[in-house]
Structure 1
Amino acid sequence: MGYLNSVLSSSSNQVHADDAPVSGGGLSQNGKFSYGYASSPGKRSSMEDFYETRIDGVDGEVVGLFGVFDGHGGARAAEYVKQNLFSNLIRHPKFISDTKSAIADAYSHTDSEFLKSENTQNRDAGSTASTAILVGDRLLVANVGDSRAVICRGGNAIAVSRDHKPDQTDERQRIEDAGGFVMWAGTWRVGGVLAVSRAFGDRLLKQYVVADPEIQEEKVDSSLEFLILASDGLWDVVTNEEAVSMVKPIKDPEDAAKRLMQEAHQRGSADNITVVVVRFLGDQEGSSSHGGSG
């Protein structure tokens, strides 16, 4: 299936020794952005969060692909999405010409391929996805579930994705129109089971829990400072504004991601915690930062 080799080579950045946090980062070849990530099982005994940070070339364009995938019912769905979503996306014939429709298609295709691959499994794994695609001066954020993307623009924290929760009016309506129901079971849940209303996988709830992403486009200009992608292990205990103000003074995005992860842990987050920070380097900063610690 072609992707086996890439699976073998890319799975190494996801190995967690017991519960040791991992972190890392890099810089784009064109010096336009730097990125860092930090990921920890936190207080959980198992790790169901995955992340992907990838820089690729498509039709001569440098493309940044960043994602946070928070699994439920086991790690299989999140791991599958991490290994296949971006590969499916950059192979899409309209990736450059109609990026939004390529993203929507890649989400849908990855979801149906995962469900096909699962037919021997009796467990019902699923995963959120919060992804950011950088193409030229465009930032496209796509989201299913409750991992979240927040940008800092002109010093302000702006959420560029919406958490998909079953009690949102439009989400509840969509689920009920499809013949499902939403009920309170400690929190609002689809069918009394699942606390997110959109996800990859979740075969038994698939007609209600769709993998259709909401996509938001932002222009990359001098007012766009950085982007934070994180699983709800961060957002359950840290507000958008707090996260942005913590990242602001930290130039190195890996250090910034680690700072947020540690803060969530100290505030008692009960979940796996995964954070990706992408810093946009304006021309002035890009040309003067080569002497910095990379």
Structure 2
Amino acid sequence: MVCSSQLKTVILQAGNIQKVTQGLVQFANFKRSLGTISVASYSSDRIFPSIKGMMVDTSAAASRGLTTNSSSENDDDCGYASGGWKSEDGKLSCGYSSFRGKRASMEDFYDVKTCKINGQAVCLFGIFDGHGGSRAAEYLKDNLFKNLMKHPDFLTKTRLAISETYQQTDSDFLESGKETFRDDGSTASTAVLVGNSLYVANVGDSRTVLSKAGKAIPLSEDHKPNRSDERKRIENAGGVVMWAGTWRVGGVLAMSRAFGNRMLKQFVVAEPEIQEQELDEEFELLVLASDGLWDVVPNEDAVSLALLEDEPELAARKLIETAFSRGSADNITCIVVRFYHKLASKLQPQPQPQIQSETEMELQDQAQTEPETNSKPQITTDPETTIKPQITEEPETKTKSET
């Protein structure tokens, strides 16, 4: 006879085994799909099936001369989606991949958009990792960049526009669900490229890392409750940070900033931390990912693995495969952006330094200031050496020594 507690344990173990088995089957299918990507599909005149075609925004932003490309999820039966895109001018390309992994449901979302606002090219990339449900992450995917591009100061005061848009979108989301009892939330890690200026904004524990000359440079810092400044902010607001398997706000939430989370909103804010970076030819690629990747793949590993692949979609898939094989039990979503710098110094041949002509000019100056007897070059006539004219470097010093 099996007691009820033992029976419960057996049932739970069986359920866990089933989830792991499903995850392994998904991963096997995922690995097989890696070989199906054709490099030719990255032709510059082709948009991937999972990227919607060019469309004109009919909203208020369209009156400012905005057009946009937008990505959409194309999840299949194996629980993953991927795709890629290359800019028309060839300056950058991106690839993305999203994998449900061992989780029973998918709470990660991503967004990739390109647009022109008043003739200025803009690219936007975002990772949104939901918790307690997928509603908040999906809401961000549908609304965050749309709201940002409508901001009147988006091009002139980009940092301010990002900060205000993040917090306003959070308020809008909470308002949209005020009649429900749901209390889900989401992270957001976004990169906005305006010309050569890169703005990375972060709320939560998704992360963005930049590769410069092969080195990993984190452009966001995870919002964890035990971060000293975050803990102080929460406690000053009347909250508490406690250990419950990991450090949690109120013993509930394992991050200190997030969209949504109505019950903890006084302590868990959606104000982003923003870093700005001016890109140059040393910056190679950008990796944005949910914590399903960063929990098991350090920044340096992510950059090194991404640099091994020429195409960013292959790099994104490689990172997800690595995270899963290293034991990630979470949803895993990743965007890789590659930069192709074509600076003026590389596009146009630059004149060679006029070293010889400058030397001749110096000699001419010397000839004008020194006595005529010392201005003539001396020729060596040693029969054992090849007869070549040699310019005496210090004719004045030699003349003094001879006298």
TM-score of the aligned structures, taking structure 2 as reference length: 0.67
Whichever residue aligns with residue 93 of structure 2, its letter is: S
Separation of aligned partners in 1, 2:308 and 2:325: 20
TM-score of the aligned structures, taking structure 1 as reference length: 0.92
Structure 2 residue aligned with 1:272, among 331, 338, 352? 331
Q: How many angstroms does 1:13 deviate by?
A: 2.4
Tell me, yes or no, if structure 1 residue 230 matches structure 2 residue 289: yes
Q: Which runs of 5+ in 1 are unaligned?
A: 4-9, 289-294
Structure 2 residue aligned with 1:169, among 203, 209, 228? 228
Aligned residue for 1:194? 253
CA contact (8 A) 1:19 1:42 kept: no
Tell me, yes or no, if structure 1 residue 139 matches structure 2 residue 198: yes
Q: Which moved more, 1:228-237 or 1:51-60?
A: 51-60
Tell me, yes or no, if structure 1 residue 61 matches structure 2 residue 120: yes
CA contact (8 A) 1:130 1:148 kept: yes
Aligned residue for 1:219? 278
Q: How many angstroms does 1:11 deviate by?
A: 9.7
CA contact (8 A) 1:57 1:63 kept: yes
Distance 1:26 1:15, change over 3 A: closer
Residues 73-84 of structure 1 mapped to structure 2, 5 A cutoff: 73-84=132-143
Aligned residue for 1:104? 163
Which consecutive segments of 4 or more residues in structure 1 shift more than 3 A? none
Structure 2 residue aligned with 1:251, among 298, 310, 335? 310
Aligned residue for 1:17? 76
Distance 1:250 1:11, change over 3 A: closer
**Larger helix proportion of the pair:** 2
Aligned residue for 1:178? 237
Once the two structures are superposed, what CA deviation does each residue of 1:107-126 show, in whole Å capped at 9, x if it has no partner?
Answer: 01100000000112101010
Structure 2 residue aligned with 1:118, among 177, 180, 183? 177
Q: Which runs of 5+ in 2 are unaligned?
A: 1-57, 60-68, 348-403
- Give the share of equivalent positions with the same residue, in percent: 58
Aligned residue for 1:209? 268
CA contact (8 A) 1:30 1:62 kept: no
Structure 1 residue aligned with 2:189, among 130, 148, 152? 130
Distance 1:268 1:135, change over 3 A: same
3-state SS of 2:168 partner: helix
Q: How many angstroms does 1:16 deviate by?
A: 2.7
Aligned residue for 1:39? 98
**Larger strand proportion of the pair:** 1
Separation of aligned partners in 2, 1:11 and 1:42: 25
Aligned residue for 2:301? 242
Whichever residue aligns with residue 246 of structure 1, its letter is: L
Higher relative contact order (CA 8 A, sep 6+): 1
